[in-house]
């Protein structure tokens, strides 16, 4: 089973926010895991720098505990189909370049 932690990290968003919630899975930033998956596709398109081009979500977005944003009650959704924005763009706008997932909750697990 995987472990997830949420770190409050420094961010330099143009909006002036200076902290972000960054999900880490098994000790690795989620954006690094996404980069590993996206990189072959981004390279094929000639834009390898786009792979994993995410940032944590601004702490101004009410996604910190006790928010249930990462537990199936999204505060930020992009597609409007119940998805949850897990990471946003480096610019600070979660709708600019979001990494989204549907979240499935069972009595023992949370699945993204």
Position 18 pLDDT exceeds 90: no
The Cα 55–Cα 94 span in angstroms is 9
Instruction: Say how many domains are in the chain.
Output: 1
The Cα 87–Cα 102 span in angstroms is 13
* Residue 41, H or E segment: helix 30-44
Most trustworthy range by pLDDT among 20-29, 75-84, 89-98: 20-29
pLDDT, greater one: 39 or 17:
39
Helix (H, G, I), strand (E, B) or coil at 100: strand
pLDDT digits (tens, 9 = 90+) for 24-43: 999 999 999 999 999 999 99
Buried b (16+ CB within 10 A) or exposed e, 47-64: eeeebbbbbbbbbebebe
Structural domain of residue 75, as residue ranges?
A: 4-111
Mean pLDDT of the region 78-90:
88
């Amino acid at each position: 089973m995987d472990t997830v932690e949420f770190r409050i990290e420094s961010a330099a968003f143009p909006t002036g926010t200076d902290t972000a919630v960054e999900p880490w899975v098994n000790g690795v930033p989620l954006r690094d895991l996404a980069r590993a998956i996206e990189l072959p596709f981004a390279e094929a398109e000639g834009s390898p720098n786009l792979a994993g081009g995410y940032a944590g979500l601004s702490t101004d977005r009410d996604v910190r505990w006790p928010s249930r944003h990462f537990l199936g009650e999204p505060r930020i959704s992009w597609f409007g189909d119940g998805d949850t924005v897990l990471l946003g763009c480096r610019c600070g706008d979660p709708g600019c370049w979001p990494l989204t997932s549907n979240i499935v909750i069972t009595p023992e697990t949370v699945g993204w």
